[in-house]
C-alpha cells in the first residue's frame, strides 16, 4: 500500500498527551465481541429504534445486556446511537426506550436531536449523552454551548481540521471524539436528502440508500442541439415526449459523487497530540474481518506510540494490513485541508476487500500442532492462508491437512460454522482469525 499523505504534518500547538479511547463499530453482537477482542476500548451499536443504520443487524435489549456484560470483562464500554432527527411520531416511546438502555448497562447514547437529548437528561440523568456528528459541530463556541447544556462529549463533524480541533481543546474543557477511519459522506456530516428524493428513504431517520455511490450518466437536451445545427442526426427518444443524448461514450465510466475513505493511520501522533479523546472508526455495516483488522492495526499503532513517543515510527505492515480490509481508496479527509477533486471517486469502485474471513480459531493443540477452526468461508487444500490475532499472531501457510469432527480427511471446507481440525505451522490462540485471498 503506497503512502497516503503528501501533506505537511500538523504544526500547531500540542494540547496534551493522554492515551485516547479507541472506539469501534459493532453492527451486531458477534462484531461487538470481535471489536473488543481485537483492542477496542469502547464500541458503538444501534438499537431497534432511533438510529441511522436501519439496515444493520441492530441489537435487541437482551443482546445489549449480553454485549455490555462481555465488554465489561475486558474493561470496555458500550454506546448506543440514537442519532436520528426525530419527527413528531418518532418521539413517542423514547422515554421507555432510554430507560431500557440504562437498565441494560449502556454507558452513553449518541444523539443529535435536542428533543432526544432533553428527554434523556430528564429521564435517565445518569446515562451520558454524547453529541452526534450529525450536529456538524466544528467550532469551539458551539462545543461550549453543548457543554453548558450538560454534555460531557462532542463528536465533531468530519469537516473539522486539526487546527480547529486544537482551538476547541484550548477553549473548552470537554471530551472530543472524532472519526479517524472509514467512509466519508459527500454531504455535511451525513445530513443529506438525496436518498429521500430518489427512493423515499430518509437518510436522517436511518434509511440512507447511499445514492452518492450510485453510477450516473450525463445527458443533454437533444432538441436544442437539433435546433442549433444543420444536418444533425435525429435526436434519440428515450421516453415519450423527452429527447436526450448521452454525453458519455459506451465505454466511459459512469460518474459517482462518492468520496474516498478516511484513513489517519499515518498521522497517529498528530491526532494524539492535538488532544482528541476518542478515535472513532466508522463501519457498523462492515464485515467482521474489516472490524477486527482495522481495530487491531490502530490498537498496535496507538500502543506503540505511547511505549516510546520520541522514537515512534509507522510500520509498513500496518498499512499492508489495512489494505487487506480496504473497500475504497483512502485519504486524510478534512484534517489537513479541504478535499478537492482528487479526493473523490470517479471510476467504478472495487467494493470487495481483497481477503475473506475464512475461519475462527477455537482451540489449539500444541502437541499435535493442530487447531480447531470454525469455518466461515470456503477454503481447500493447497491454498495459502493467513492467521492473525489480537495478541500478535501473524503468519502465512499452505493448507496441507484437515479433518472433519469425525476425523475424516477433507479436501475442502464447504460448510459455514462447521468445526474443522487442521495442521498449523505455528501456534495460534482462541479468537485468532484465518483469512484467504480472493
Tell me the DSSP string of 314-346: --HHHHHHHHHH--S-EE-TTSSS---GGGB--
Per-residue model confidence (pLDDT) at position 194: 76
Q: Which CATH number applies to 21-190+257-343: 3.40.1000.10, 3.40.640.10, 3.40.50.300, 3.20.20.70?
A: 3.20.20.70
Enter the DSSP assignment of 59.
P
Per-residue model confidence (pLDDT) at position 2: 41
Per-residue model confidence (pLDDT) at position 239: 53
Per-residue model confidence (pLDDT) at position 253: 67
Q: Take residue 175 and report the three cell numbers written for it.
A: 471530551
Q: Take residue 424 and report the three cell numbers written for it.
A: 498449523
Tell me the DSSP string of 146-164: HHHTT-SEEE--TT--HHH
In the block, residue with C-alpha cell 469455518 = 375
Each residue's pLDDT expressed in tens, for the chain with a length of 438 residues? 444 444 445 666 665 578 999 999 999 999 999 999 999 999 999 998 876 655 556 899 999 999 999 999 999 999 999 988 888 988 889 999 999 999 999 999 999 999 999 999 999 999 999 999 989 999 999 999 999 999 999 999 999 999 999 999 999 999 999 999 998 877 776 677 777 777 777 665 556 777 777 777 777 766 655 555 555 555 554 455 556 666 667 676 666 777 888 999 999 999 999 999 999 999 888 899 999 999 999 999 999 999 999 999 999 999 999 989 877 888 899 999 888 777 777 766 555 568 889 999 999 999 999 999 999 999 999 999 999 999 999 999 999 999 999 999 999 999 999 999 999 999 999 999 999 987
Widest Cα–Cα separation across the chain? 86
Per-residue model confidence (pLDDT) at position 326: 75
CB 39 within 8 A of CB 22: yes
CA distances from 412 to 369, 372, 385, 421 (A): 19, 15, 13, 12
Burial class (CB in 10 A: 0-12, 13-18, 19+), 95: middle
CB 53 within 8 A of CB 25: no
Per-residue model confidence (pLDDT) at position 329: 82
Per-residue model confidence (pLDDT) at position 210: 74
CB 159 within 8 A of CB 334: yes
- Listed by start position, the domains of the chain span 21-190+257-343, 217-253, 355-437
CA atoms within 13 A on the CB side of 113: 20
CA 106/CA 77 separation, integer angstroms: 8
Q: Take residue 215 and report the three cell numbers written for it.
A: 453510477
Q: At what angle do helices 288-307 and 316-325 cross, to 10 degrees?
A: 160
Cβ neighbours of residue 307 closer than 8 Å, sequence gap 6 or more: none
CA atoms within 13 A on the CB side of 387: 24
Per-residue model confidence (pLDDT) at position 216: 76
Q: Does domain 355-437 have CATH number 2.40.30.10?
A: yes
The H-assigned helical ranges of 77-234 are 88-91, 94-103, 114-123, 140-148, 162-171, 194-199, 222-227
Per-residue model confidence (pLDDT) at position 217: 74
Amino acid at each position: 500500500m503506497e503512502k497516503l499523505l503528501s501533506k505537511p504534518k500538523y504544526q500547531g500547538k500540542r494540547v496534551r498527551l493522554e492515551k485516547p479511547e479507541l472506539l469501534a463499530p459493532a453492527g451486531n453482537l458477534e462484531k461487538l465481541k470481535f471489536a473488543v477482542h481485537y483492542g477496542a476500548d469502547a464500541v458503538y451499536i444501534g438499537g431497534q429504534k432511533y438510529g441511522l443504520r436501519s439496515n444493520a443487524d441492530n441489537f435487541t435489549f437482551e443482546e445489549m445486556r449480553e454485549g455490555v456484560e462481555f465488554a465489561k470483562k475486558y474493561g470496555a464500554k458500550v454506546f448506543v446511537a440514537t442519532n436520528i432527527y426525530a419527527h413528531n411520531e418518532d418521539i413517542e416511546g423514547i422515554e421507555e426506550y432510554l430507560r431500557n438502555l440504562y437498565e441494560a448497562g449502556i454507558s452513553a447514547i449518541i444523539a443529535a436531536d435536542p428533543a432526544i437529548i432533553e428527554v434523556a437528561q430528564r429521564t435517565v440523568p445518569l446515562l451520558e449523552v454524547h453529541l452526534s456528528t450529525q450536529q456538524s459541530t466544528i467550532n469551539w463556541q458551539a462545543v461550549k454551548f453543548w457543554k453548558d447544556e450538560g454534555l460531557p462529549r462532542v463528536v465533531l463533524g468530519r469537516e473539522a481540521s486539526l487546527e480547529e480541533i486544537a482551538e476547541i481543546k484550548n477553549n473548552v474543557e470537554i471530551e472530543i471524539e472524532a472519526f479517524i477511519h472509514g467512509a466519508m459522506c459527500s454531504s455535511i456530516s451525513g445530513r443529506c436528502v438525496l436518498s429521500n428524493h430518489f427512493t423515499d428513504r430518509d437518510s436522517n431517520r436511518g434509511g440512507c440508500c447511499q445514492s452518492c455511490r450510485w453510477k450516473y450518466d450525463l445527458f443533454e437536451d437533444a432538441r436544442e442541439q437539433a435546433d442549433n445545427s444543420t444536418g444533425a442526426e435525429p435526436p434519440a427518444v428515450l421516453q415519450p415526449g423527452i429527447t436526450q443524448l448521452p454525453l458519455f461514450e459506451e465505454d466511459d465510466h459512469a460518474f459517482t459523487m462518492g468520496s474516498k475513505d478516511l484513513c489517519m493511520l499515518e498521522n497517529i501522533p498528530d491526532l494524539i497530540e492535538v488532544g482528541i479523546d476518542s478515535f472513532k472508526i466508522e463501519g457498523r455495516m462492515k464485515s467482521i474481518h474489516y472490524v477486527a483488522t482495522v481495530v487491531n492495526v490502530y490498537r498496535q499503532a496507538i500502543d506503540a506510540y505511547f511505549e516510546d513517543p520520541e522514537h515512534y515510527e509507522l510500520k509498513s505492515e500496518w498499512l499492508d494490513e489495512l489494505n487487506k480490509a480496504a473497500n475504497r481508496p483512502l485519504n486524510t479527509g478534512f484534517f489537513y485541508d479541504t478535499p478537492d477533486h482528487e479526493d473523490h471517486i470517479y471510476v467504478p469502485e472495487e467494493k470487495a476487500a481483497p481477503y475473506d474471513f475464512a475461519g475462527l480459531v477455537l482451540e489449539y493443540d500444541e502437541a499435535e500442532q493442530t487447531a480447531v477452526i470454525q469455518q466461515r468461508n470456503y477454503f481447500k487444500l493447497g491454498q495459502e492462508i493467513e492467521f492473525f490475532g489480537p495478541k500478535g499472531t501473524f503468519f502465512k501457510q499452505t493448507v496441507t491437512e484437515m479433518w472433519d469432527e469425525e476425523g475424516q480427511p477433507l479436501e475442502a471446507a464447504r460448510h459455514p460454522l462447521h468445526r474443522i481440525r487442521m495442521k498449523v505451522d505455528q501456534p495460534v490462540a482462541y479468537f485468532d482469525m484465518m483469512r484467504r485471498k480472493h
